[in-house]
Structure 1
């Protein structure tokens, strides 16, 4: 597992699952000839994609960002967030905070587990932090994801909603980055003289950062998604921030460099 120590803060990228996805969907509206340069792609235009979560550990306190597919949604190529946590010696009961970038299945199905027909928080001692726009939209839809992965967090008092950019503590900030969903957020970590951002689905691949106009075709708003991504790229280049592209199996840790025209994602050896 890839880890980075920043002063008192340790960041660990946790594998959950992997599979394949159409690059045409990820880099919409680019043509295959445009987006496939430098990307490993099969004859059908599918490329490898992975699902991850992030563990942020500070002096024995643990924050988990996203919960993966969870036990109820088993995939052929799933390692599992819980297994990855166990590999680094962290039990579910030790997680004090869960930050959810957004409410898509590969990021939040691991919120809860069903025992005896009742849904319970997987991380019983954690507050689950979600943008208010995301929760309001889900509550109105009253779909299965709300009823099984979020509603069970309400009664035990485990669900916390936030609005816009909110500091969790002196190291961790939730940054509102809407577009992929109505209430998407990324997570900024500042420690040891570095700034690191776990992007969530603000960029599925590093290529989305190099071309902010290319984004997933299932985004809630393509225009807002592009604007949020472009803003992040410009800010990250100025700050020399490290960006974590959790779905990208080849270029997960990058810095953005300004070029004559646009930006380049420089892969880091972590």
Structure 2
């Protein structure tokens, strides 16, 4: 029996009509859903939404405004959230992220569409997650394996290819910079020997390439 094809979205960006302190994110009005539908991905066709972590620019389109209420954008999907990540935000006193959780995360729990997952959760035979903590305590990256090929969607494990050469360079948004640096350094060393396609969530186009050794360090190369 043939396994049904999964239609998975990894992180949902900023979202529309959301009041944010960052002017680049505030009250956006983009044709995101229209473009998705034109690409063959209408909202109702998505069956899984994977959240690498719960920052503002990764969960926005989890919900949309409908009759003055925030409702799940993808009503047929299960939203997968790391259990460690969720636990962190239940105790973290971060006023800046509180509105994000209120309008983009809590409504999917209220709708009964959220599932808390472990750091080694397998979504299907080809897609699983791996822990990459530091940016947030429960941050995960997405592993894709198919037909002998492997790829990883980094989430915010890295923000720029320069961090491959300098994994000790931190983002100001990392919750624990020391842990993030350690996670990144271990990841880069592993990828240099793995011939795995690395897809940098925040990398400029082209965002997918390989980590290769460069003397005593590493660099990013695009196929």
- TM-score, normalization by structure 1: 0.72
Change (3 A) 1:77 1:234: farther
Q: Tell me, yes or no, if the aligned pair for 1:68 and 1:80 is still in contact at 8 Å.
A: no
Query: Larger % of strand: which?
Result: 1
Question: How much is the aligned-residue C-alpha RMSD, in angstroms?
Answer: 2.1
**Equivalence for 1:148:** 103
Residue aligned with 2:47, SS: strand
* Alignment partner of 1:88 is 2:88: no
For 2:69 and 2:31, how far apart are their aligned partners in 1? Answer: 21
For 2:64 and 2:10, how far apart are their aligned partners in 1? Answer: 17
Residue aligned with 2:54, SS: coil
**Equivalence for 2:17:** 72
1:8-47 alignment runs, 5 A limit: none
For 2:221 and 2:11, how far apart are their aligned partners in 1? Answer: 25
**Equivalence for 2:82:** 131
* Alignment partner of 1:170 is 2:113: no
Runs of 4 or more above 6 Å deviation: 75-78
Q: Tell me, yes or no, if the aligned pair for 1:178 and 1:228 is still in contact at 8 Å.
A: yes
* Alignment partner of 1:100 is 2:51: yes
- TM-score, normalization by structure 2: 0.86
**Equivalence for 1:255:** 210
For 2:114 and 2:27, how far apart are their aligned partners in 1? Answer: 30
Q: Tell me, yes or no, if the aligned pair for 1:206 and 1:251 is still in contact at 8 Å.
A: no
For 1:59 and 1:186, how far apart are their aligned partners in 2? Answer: 23
Q: Tell me, yes or no, if the aligned pair for 1:242 and 1:253 is still in contact at 8 Å.
A: yes
Change (3 A) 1:155 1:75: closer
Number of corresponding residues? 211
Residue aligned with 1:166, SS: coil
Point out which structure has higher relative CO (alpha carbons under 8 A, 6+ apart). Answer: 1
Q: Tell me, yes or no, if the aligned pair for 1:254 and 1:265 is still in contact at 8 Å.
A: yes
Residue aligned with 1:123, SS: coil
Q: Tell me, yes or no, if the aligned pair for 2:17 and 2:28 is still in contact at 8 Å.
A: no
| Stretch moving more, 137-146 or 83-92 | 137-146
Gaps of 5+ in 1: 1-57
